[in-house]
Amino acid sequence: MLSVTDFANINDMVADFLKNSLSFKLLYVPLVLLGACSTTPQYTGEKYWHHGSERPYRIKGVMYYPQVHYRYAAIGEASWYGYDCQGLPTAIGVIFRKNKLTAAHRTLPLPSVVVVENLENGKRVRLLVNDRGPFAKTNRRVIDVTQRAAELLGFRAKGFARVKVTCLAKASRIAALAYKRKPY
């Protein structure tokens, strides 16, 4: 069984891997080509870790139903979180680090990989979704990003920005396998 430290190390590795787009492309292309050789994913028989992040849940009287697919694109508001959550476990069990390129989403499968584009300045960043949220009173917010992601997207000082969020299905499947979760 993996410890919290192991999950933190895996989270660091996946975040660093996804941040380095050249490495991602070098691994991504062969995986796509290999994926074209079979019609169904081949599993090793290992037990996949399914925490409660895939079950419907209620926050502040609102029910949320996590998706069982990676088809997602939305335009809305992004906010950032950092200080209050530093060192706490995320929804998939890894320790939250405000300087990592991760995010929280209400319904995407965990983990997922998304591209967040700030529509006000055109800056884009690829993030690993490993937590649930945002649960602010407004429904305009579609994603919470870490402090570091907000800096890269150019809205840390403002606190929020209008963004486009697009889920990357193939990268999300790779991340799911890295976390020993059955990909959709």
pLDDT of residue 139: 77
Q: Which segment, 22-36, 41-55, 79-93, 118-132, is predicted with the most confidence on average?
A: 118-132
Higher pLDDT, 149 or 60: 149
Say if strands 73-81 and 141-146 run parallel, antiparallel, or are unpaired: parallel
Name 149's Cβ contacts closer than 8 Å, sequence gap at least 6.
Answer: 80, 101, 102, 103, 116, 125, 127
pTM score, two decimals? 0.71
| Tokens encoding 159 | 């606190």
Instruction: Dump pLDDT digits (tens) for 97-156.
Output: 999 999 999 999 999 999 999 999 999 999 999 999 998 877 789 999 999 999 999 999
Higher pLDDT, 35 or 77: 77
Tell me the H-state helices in 54-166: 147-153
Q: What is the C-alpha to C-alpha distance for residues 19 and 51, in angstroms, rounded to an integer? A: 26
Which region among 37-46, 87-96, 106-115, 167-176 has the lowest average model confidence (pLDDT)? Answer: 37-46
CA distances in angstroms from 163 to 61, 65, 77, listed in the order given: 26, 22, 6
Higher pLDDT, 97 or 41: 97
pLDDT of residue 163: 98
Architecture of domain 4-178 in this structure: Beta Barrel (2.40)
pLDDT of residue 16: 61
Say if strands 102-104 and 141-146 run parallel, antiparallel, or are unpaired: antiparallel
How is the chain split into domains, by residue range? 4-178
DSSP 8-state secondary structure symbol assigned to residue 33? H
Q: What is the C-alpha to C-alpha distance for residues 167 and 89, in angstroms, rounded to an integer? A: 23
Name 113's Cβ contacts closer than 8 Å, sequence gap at least 6.
Answer: 18, 126, 127, 128, 129, 167, 168, 171, 172, 174, 175
Q: What is the C-alpha to C-alpha distance for residues 68 and 164, in angstroms, rounded to an integer? A: 21
As a whole-number percent, the residues of the chain with pLDDT over 70 amount to 70
